[in-house]
Amino acid sequence: MNTPPADPAAARIGGLTPFSSCDWPGKLCAVVFLAGCPWRCGYCHNPHLLRRQNGETRWPDILHWLQSRTGLLDGVVFSGGEPLQEPALPALLEQTRALGFATGLHTGGAYPQRLRRVLPLLDWVGLDIKTDFGAYPALTGLPRSGEQTETSLHCLLQNNSNFECRSSIHPHWHNEIQLAALARRLAALGVADYHWQQLRPPPSFALPPAPADWPAPQLIEEIAPLFQHFSYREH
């Protein structure tokens, strides 16, 4: 017996950013944050999005508001938490597209099979690569999390998807030797669009931001030619 489709009105919405120019490179978008994540990264900036619980906004209200944004926004990005944990995500994507918006997804790759199923409904994916795949459990707290992300990456590559990989980095959690090895591995797998972005430690860590000369400019110069697009985002 087939499982009935999840009710989009029951989606657990953790929050909404009405306008963003940096969550989908080159696009003006709204960002819908879906609540719930199976991982527990030590540096998580969104602890309020880890449990599947509603914030103040409901999907029918967002859908109604989106109707007034036609022509003002290029698209809508679904982020989290881990948006693929939301059973109603396919319906949310279908309804968003029906309004004429492009659809994007931020994911850590925890649900490769679900990612495969929603790819036909997506125009772009931002896949977080947290660290070397073998080092994931120490960072996420979950065994097999690195395998899940690696499988998600292969899924995007095999489907010729429009996607970027990005790694949020800080010297407390990453070192330059690991980062260089990870970049070379991603390039060898066929990733064309890869970015490092500065990870700002949450206040509970009482850690300063990364020093201005980290990662070393020479390392960035060495890594950049491996990809069609590579950058270090400091915002």
Name the residues that contact ligand SF4, by CB under 6 A: 37, 39-41, 44, 46, 49-50, 80-82, 108
Q: What strands lie across the sheet with 124-128, from one edge to the other?
A: 13-20, 29-34, 75-79, 102-107, 124-128, 163-169, 193-198, 229-233
Strand residue runs (E) in 85-145: 102-107, 124-128
| 40 vs 233, beta carbon nearer ligand SF4 | 40
Please give the C-alpha separations between residue 234 and each of 150, 183, 212, in angstroms, as whole numbers: 25, 18, 10
| 32 vs 223, beta carbon nearer ligand SF4 | 32
| 84 vs 119, beta carbon nearer ligand SF4 | 84
The tokens for 187 are 């390039």
The CB-of-17 to ligand SF4 minimum distance in angstroms stands at 15
The CB-of-145 to ligand SF4 minimum distance in angstroms stands at 9
Cβ-contact 205, 172 below 8 angstroms = yes
The CB-of-29 to ligand SF4 minimum distance in angstroms stands at 19
| 31 vs 41, beta carbon nearer ligand SF4 | 41
Cβ-contact 49, 36 below 8 angstroms = yes
